Chain A
Amino acid sequence: MITLDFVYILAGITFALFALLGLYDRTNRKRFGNAAFWGLLAASMLLGDYLGDFGNGLLVLALVAIAGAGQIGRAPGGEVPPEIQAERAARYGNFLLLVALIIPVVALTGTFLFKWVPNLVEQKQATLISLALGVLIALAVGMARLRPAPILPLQQGRRLLDSVGWAAILPQMLASLGAVFALAGVGEVVGGLIGSAIPAGSLFGAVLAFGLGMALFTMVMGNAFAAFPVMMAAVGLPLLIKHYGGDPAVVAAIGMLAGFCGTLMTPMAANFNLVPAALLELKNPYGVIRAQIGTALPLLAVNILFIWLFAF
C-alpha cells in the first residue's frame, strides 16, 4: 500500500538535491548554510522515523541555529530573462497552462479514484499522495515536450525555495510549538482567564467573549484547532450550552469559524499568511495579513451575531 512515506521519500530526495545544487552555487555567499539547512530537512523527511524524538529535536535545534545565525541567503538573479520567457510563452502558450493544471486535476481525480480501489493507497492521505503523483506526472509531461536541460527544473525550484528561505519550515515549527503548549497546559490557563472576565448574567456578553476569545486565542496559537477545545471548555460548554441552553451544533460550528477569522489576522498562521508573502516576493512580509483584516473583522462580527441569533 502506498502511504505518506512515499511522499516523504520524494520530498527528502527533492530537498537533498536542492542542498547539493546549493552547495555548488558559488554565486551565493551563504551556500554552506543553505546546503546544511536543506540537507537537514532532507534527513528529516527520509530518516525522521528512525532518529527518535530527541534526535529529531536536535535536528530542529540545528535548523534553528543555522537560520538564527543568518546563514541562509539567496544568490541574486538566476531567473530566465523576461524576453526569453515571453518568446517561449508565445511558442508553448496553452501547453504550459495544461501542465500547470495537471497537478490539481490529478490531485482531484486521484482523491476520488483511490476511494474506489481500496488498499492501494492509504485512504486518509489520498489527496496528498495524489498531489505528489500529479507533480511527477506534470514534470514528466513538461520535460518530454519542452526538453530543457535536465537540471533546469531543480535549479529553478531551488531558486524559488531559496527566495522563501527559512520561512519554508515556519508552519511546521509553529505546529510543533503548539504541541509543547498543549503539554504545558497553556490552553487551560488562557481559558480560565477569559472565563473569569465575562460579566455574569449577560447572554450577549458571554457570546461576545466566546467569539472574541476564539479569534484572539487563535491569533496567539496560529490555529483555531488549538483554541477550540480551550474556549469550549472555558465558555462554550459551561455558559452558552449548559447555562443558557444554546444549540451545541451552532455554538461549535460558528465558534470554530470565528476562530478562522483570527487565523486571517496572525503571523502565527505562517503557512497561510507569511509563506505566500515570501512566495509572491512581497516587500512587506505582513502584506497578506493587511489585505485580510478588512474581511476578517466584519466577518468576526457577523459570526458573533450569528451565534447569538441562531443558537438561542
Chain B
Amino acid sequence: MLVLIGILIIIAGFVLRFNPLLVIMASALATGLAAGLDVHAIIAAFGKAFNDTRYVSIIWIVLPVIGLLEAYGLQQHARSLIDRMKGATLGRLLTGYLLLRQAMAAVGLTSVAGHAQTVRPLVAPMAEAAAEAKNGALTEDQREEVKAFAAATDNVGLFFGEDIFLAIGSILLMKGLLDGYGYQIEPLHFSLWAIPTAIAAFLIHGFRLRRLEKRMAQTPIGPEAGA
C-alpha cells in the first residue's frame, strides 16, 4: 500500500501546480523508497528509463523546418487557402482531418502527422480561418477553443485509428500478455474488435465538431475581436 504514495504526490503536485518535473522526481523517489530501494538504485533506474525513452523527445528536430516556414508565412498561406475554398467550414475541415488521421493510423502511419508536424503549422491556422470565414473575427476565447479542438481532433484520430493496425505496440502487448496466460489469439482479432470503437469515436467527435461550428456561429463577437 505504501508505494501508492507516489500517485498521491503526482495528483497533489498537479493540483497545486508545482513544476511537474519536480513533482515527477519527488514521486519517483518516494515510490522507490516505499518499495525498499535505496536512493542510488532509484536514480539509476530513472536514468536508465530516461535513456531508453529518448525517442519520445526527438520530435523536436522538426522545429527548425517549422520555424523557417512560419517565418515565410506558412500559417498565413494555410489560412488564405481556406478563405478561397467556399465549402470549407470549421466542422467539415476538422471532420475531414479526423477521418484522414484515423485512416492513416489504421494502416500504421502514426508518426506521419502530429502536433508539431501538422497541427501547429497547418490544421490549427486552417481551422481558425474556416471559423473566421463564416463568422468574422474570433474572440480570444473562441480562438483558444478552435485551436484546442484542432489538437484534440489529432489525438482522437490517432488513438482510435491506430489499434486497427496489426503491428502496433498495443496489439503486440495484448497478444504477448494473453499468450502468457495460455490464450493463443491472432493479432487480426484484436484489430477487428477495434473497428466498432473507431466508428463510435468518429461519430461522437464528428458530432461535437458540428456543435463547435454552430457554437462559433452563435456567439456574438466580443470587444477583443480581431486581437
Question: A residues bordering B, Cβ < 8 Å?
Answer: 4, 7-8, 10-11, 14-15, 41, 44-45, 48-49, 51-61, 63-64, 67-68, 70, 79-80, 82, 85-90, 92-94, 96-97, 99-100, 103-104, 107-108, 111, 125, 127-128, 131-132, 135, 138-139, 142-143, 146, 148, 152-161, 164, 166-181, 183-186, 189-190, 220, 224-225, 228-229, 232, 237, 241, 248-250, 252-254, 256-257, 260, 263-264, 267-268, 270-273, 275-277, 279-280, 282-284, 287-288, 290-292, 294-295, 298-299, 302-303, 306, 310
B155 touches A54 (CB 8 A): no
The one of B46, B62, B76, B193 that contacts A180, using a Cβ cutoff of 8 Å: B46
A-B contact pairs, 14 of them (CB 8 A): A8-B54, A45-B58, A104-B112, A128-B58, A153-B64, A155-B67, A156-B64, A158-B67, A185-B3, A228-B173, A241-B183, A252-B178, A272-B155, A295-B204
Q: Which of A55, A96, A232, A249 contacts B47 (CB 8 A)?
A: A55
Contact between chains at A89 and B44 (CB < 8 Å):
no
| Complex-state Cα separation, A106 to B200, whole angstroms | 31
Could you say which residues of chain B place their CB within 8 Å of the CB of A11?
A: 54, 57-58, 60-61
Assess whether B219 is interfacial by the CB under 8 Å rule.
Answer: no
Binding site for A on B (CB under 8 A): 1, 3-4, 6-7, 10-11, 14, 19-22, 24-25, 27-28, 31-32, 34-35, 37, 40, 42-58, 60-78, 80-81, 108-113, 115-122, 124, 140, 144-145, 147-152, 154-156, 159-160, 163, 169-170, 173-174, 177-178, 181, 183, 185, 189-191, 193-194, 196-197, 200-201, 204-205, 208
- Interchain CB contact (< 8 A) of B24 among A48, A174, A288: A174
The 8 Å CB contact of A85, one of B4, B27, B57, B72, is B72
Contact among A186, A279, A302 with B6 in the assembled complex (CB-CB below 8 Å): A186
Using A99-B69, A148-B68, A189-B4 as known contacts, say yes or no to A56 and B47 having CB atoms under 8 A apart. yes
Q: Tell whether, in the assembled complex, residue B119 and residue A295 are in contact, meaning their CB atoms are under 8 Å apart.
A: no
**Cross-chain contact B197 with A295 (CB below 8 angstroms):** no
Check B109 against A111 for contact (C-beta < 8 Å): yes
Chain A minimum-CB-distance residue to B164 = A253
* Contact of A280 with B120 at beta-carbon distance under 8 Å, contacts A183-B35, A189-B1 already known: yes
Contact present for B69 and A142 (CB under 8 Å): yes
Is B149 a contact partner of A291 (Cβ separation < 8 A)? yes
- Which secondary structure dominates where chain A touches chain B? helix
Looking at the assembled complex, report how far the CB atom of A234 sits from the nearest CB atom of chain B, in whole angstroms.
13
B53–A176 contact, CB under 8 A?
yes
- B interface SS class: helix
Closest chain A residue to B29 by CB distance?
Answer: A180
Chain B residues within an 8 Å CB radius of A181: 3, 6, 31
Query: Which residue of A7, A59, A185, A288 is within 8 Å of B148 (Cβ)?
Result: A288
**CB contact between A61 and one of B25, B56, B76 (< 8 Å): that residue:** B25
Closest partner residue, chain B, to A260 (CB atom): B159
User: Which listed residue (B43, B80, B145) contacts A291, Cβ 8 A?
Assistant: B145
Q: Which residues of A contact B149 (CB under 8 A)?
A: 291
Residue of A nearest to B25 (CB): A64
Q: Are A179 and B45 in contact (CB under 8 A)?
A: yes
- Chain A min CB distance to B224 (Å): 13
The answer to whether A175 touches B196, judged by C-beta atoms less than 8 angstroms apart, is no
The 3 closest A-B pairs by CB, nearest first: A156-B67, A89-B73, A57-B47
Once A103-B117, A189-B1, A295-B201 are accepted as A-B contacts, the answer to whether A306 and B72 lie under 8 Å apart by CB is no
Most chain A CB inside 10 Å of its own CB: which residue of B25, B70, B193, B204: B193
Contacts of A97 in B (CB 8 A): 74, 77-78, 81, 122
